[in-house]
Chains A and B, each alone.
Chain A
């Protein structure tokens, strides 16, 4: 209900109710509830009751541009994705205006300039429908209850630890060090590069690295910080995986062996 109100602002006729948008993980509400240029195009084609295999490109392009101008006039930053599609549409439109090249090769049929767009729209439509299937599955699942806490990860080996779990662990270790270290003796400073290469060597030798243990072995706060940054760096650059067998359990860094392809 609220959604159609949102739509009216954009002077568009009623849109059939989309999937709920309770979550806040998106900014496309400002885009008038279209999830992207393809979504908007599909909507326009449907509204014109046009055949997707024979899109009236001039009309749809005009409508599309009208929509983008509207977004601009409302001072919304028009996402680059929408502008790219506008350019594509205009290109197709101009190609359509040219008289079809009577193929020198003769037999080869000249490809419809709209073909690529149609293919993309059809593919997108598939996944949009799949998303709605997932949505209804989730709805059914919400009506099913299981005994006790279902999201206990007690026996799930493959739960990926998030960056926040990592921060939490790091916090614990820092705290522990606060108590331990009474006096710091000046020693040779270690660089980040040294730490990363040291950690990598060890990781690839042992394939598995318990981060709690690794952090535990480190003596100074400086090195601890370096070690933490190294973990982030290694996760970013190497094919490794952070796993945590259970909530609050130790976080293990392991080399990905099965997915290297």
Chain B
């Protein structure tokens, strides 16, 4: 044990070093970086890394940074805070992208809550053909096919993609509010 110590000493980072390297990795990652990826690169255990991330998140929050560290699509990401969007838009000279139509959003919400779900099942709920919405959602890669249902006609089943989580700011599917909660809104 004592013999290996010097080596271990070198490999082991101090808390602040670990927090710093996590921050750097999260920053450069194109997509939200998962704890598993961090474990692989940093050779630290999950608990240590999660603690480092929490520490970093607290730092961002406490100093009221213009950036936030957030969990999204199963990983961690550094992003700007919503408060500054006007100034950012002015700098980038961008307009908010056109949103999905209500028809597409309805289709998407059925798929998100009922996945895997087939086109006829979606139609039953919406009461209307949904083919064009499904095409739009596939083109935007918000949904992906999830194989075929073993029933008459073997219809294709659909589910939401990782891009869906990212675009709607969700950690994972369990973060979607329960569909029963929407009953309250019915008068």
Contact = CB atoms under 8 A, between A and B. Distances in A.
- A-B interaction: yes
Contact of B31 (A124, A156, A239): A156
A26 B28 CA distance: 38
A146 B78 contact: yes
A21 B101 contact: yes
Contacts of A93: none
A191 interface: no
Contacts of A139: 96, 99
Nearest to B96: A142
A131 B108 contact: yes
A25 B101 CA distance: 7
B31 A127 contact: no
A155 B30 contact: yes
A127 B168 contact: no
Interface string B158-187: 000111001111100000010110110111
A148 B82 contact: no
B51 interface: no
A148 B129 contact: no
A18 B101 CA distance: 10
A129 B182 contact: yes
A85 B126 CA distance: 12
A141 B96 CA distance: 10
Interface in A127-150: 127-135, 137-150
A96 interface: no
Instruction: State which size class the interface on A falls in.
Output: 35 or more
Given A134-B109, A142-B96, A154-B31, A147 B169 contact: no
A142 B167 CA distance: 8
B27 interface: yes
Interface residues of B, number: 67
A124 B97 CA distance: 27
B127 A85 contact: yes
Given A19-B99, A126-B183, A25 B135 contact: yes
A125 B127 contact: no
B150 A160 contact: no
Nearest to B81: A144
A20 B103 CA distance: 11
A259 B116 CA distance: 9
25 contacts: A21-B101, A25-B101, A26-B101, A26-B104, A37-B127, A79-B128, A122-B186, A124-B127, A131-B106, A134-B108, A135-B99, A135-B100, A138-B167, A140-B169, A144-B85, A145-B79, A146-B77, A147-B78, A151-B163, A155-B29, A158-B144, A159-B141, A160-B138, A239-B148, A261-B147
Given A127-B110, A155-B29, 11 more contacts: A21-B102, A25-B132, A26-B104, A120-B127, A130-B182, A142-B96, A144-B169, A156-B162, A158-B161, A160-B145, A162-B139
Interface of A: 18-23, 25-28, 35-39, 46, 52, 79, 81, 85, 120, 122-135, 137-152, 154-156, 158-160, 162, 237, 239, 241, 256, 259-261
